[in-house]
Structures are given as structure tokens and as C-alpha cells.
């Protein structure tokens, strides 16, 4: 799997992230249930705030369906804590700041272009992991509007 990205049916890479309290958190920690991991560029920016609010608003429905939800960016845990407090977010957030982290393994940390300038950044993407720890669905280059509801519908049907 050296040069290929994980795909549907592959196990989710069990790479540790950092929870808001500084402890390690891994996809395997959610074993036995479905897991949605949404990757977003940066806390407290317009699109990322809306995406986190949308997933938070649907948190009870995800929970009723037995689906855990985890938001991931490169922001440090302290910034995540401020972001959660500022907007009253109901989803768990984790930091993927380490080089070679989960976003790298999934191909979501990639070169982006903005006004002709190339830089590395998080490609807004979401992964649905089934109860066996396998990737059930991948959304790449996500548009925020309606995305959380689409993911919920897929998770309820998976």
C-alpha cells in the first residue's frame, strides 16, 4: 500500500491523533461501532465552522444510529478546545499535527493552490468506517452545504 491510498473495504489506518485533553485517540478506540471522521482545514474559519456546527446539530441522530463522529484538523488541542467552547460544538475533535499522520495516510493532506501559490493543506474530506474498522465510504473535496446530512444518511444505511 506504499503508493496507493486506502479505499473502500480497506482497514482504516490505526494512526494516533491527539484528543483535546492531549491524550492519544485512535480509530480503533471506536471499535465495535461505526465511525465518521471528517477532516477540515482550520478551526474558526467560515466553512469549517459551519461544517462543525452541522455535524454538531446532527450529533443526536448520529448517536441514535450508533455512529461516533470525530472532526480532525492540524490545529493543536488548545485551539480545538477554544473552538468547541466558542461555538458549543457537540462533536469530538482531534489534532493530526504529526507528519505522516492519519490525514497523510488517507491522502487528505495534500498540495493545494490558492491564487497561483502552492502549499500543503487539508483537503476537506470525510470517511465512514464500518463496525469492523473498514472504510465503507469516502467523500473527497467536500462542499459543506448539506454534507453532514448526506453523511448521516449514508451512515444510517451502512
| C-alpha dist (Å) from residue 119 to 99, 112, 124 | 15, 5, 15
Q: How far apart are CA 14 and CA 26, in angstroms?
A: 6
Distance (Å, whole) CA 131 – CA 30: 9
For the chain, the distance separating the N- and C-terminal CA atoms, rounded to the nearest angstrom, is: 25
Question: Which of these is catalytic: 15, 17, 48, 106?
Answer: 48
Pairwise CA distance, residues 149 & 62, whole Å: 10
Tell me if residue 48 is catalytic: yes
The answer for residues whose C-beta is within 8 angstroms of residue 2's C-beta and 6 or more apart is none
**Which residues are tagged catalytic?**
48
Amino acid at each position: 500500500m506504499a503508493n496507493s491510498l486506502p479505499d473502500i473495504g480497506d482497514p482504516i489506518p490505526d494512526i494516533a491523533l491527539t484528543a483535546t485533553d492531549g491524550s492519544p485517540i485512535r480509530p480503533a478506540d471506536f471499535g465495535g461501532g461505526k465511525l465518521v471522521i471528517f477532516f477540515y482545514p482550520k478551526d474558526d474559519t467560515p466553512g469549517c465552522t459551519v461544517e462543525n456546527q452541522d455535524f454538531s446539530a446532527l450529533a443526536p441522530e448520529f448517536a441514535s444510529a450508533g455512529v461516533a463522529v470525530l472532526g480532525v484538523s492540524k490545529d493543536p488541542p488548545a485551539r480545538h478546545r477554544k473552538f468547541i467552547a466558542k461555538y458549543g460544538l457537540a462533536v469530538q475533535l482531534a489534532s493530526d499535527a504529526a507528519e505522516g499522520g492519519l490525514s497523510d495516510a488517507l491522502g487528505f493532506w495534500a498540495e493545494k493552490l490558492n491564487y497561483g501559490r502552492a502549499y500543503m493543506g487539508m483537503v476537506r474530506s470525510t470517511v465512514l468506517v464500518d463496525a469492523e474498522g473498514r472504510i465503507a465510504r469516502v467523500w473527497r473535496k467536500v462542499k459543506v452545504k448539506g454534507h453532514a446530512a448526506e453523511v448521516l444518511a449514508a451512515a444510517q444505511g451502512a
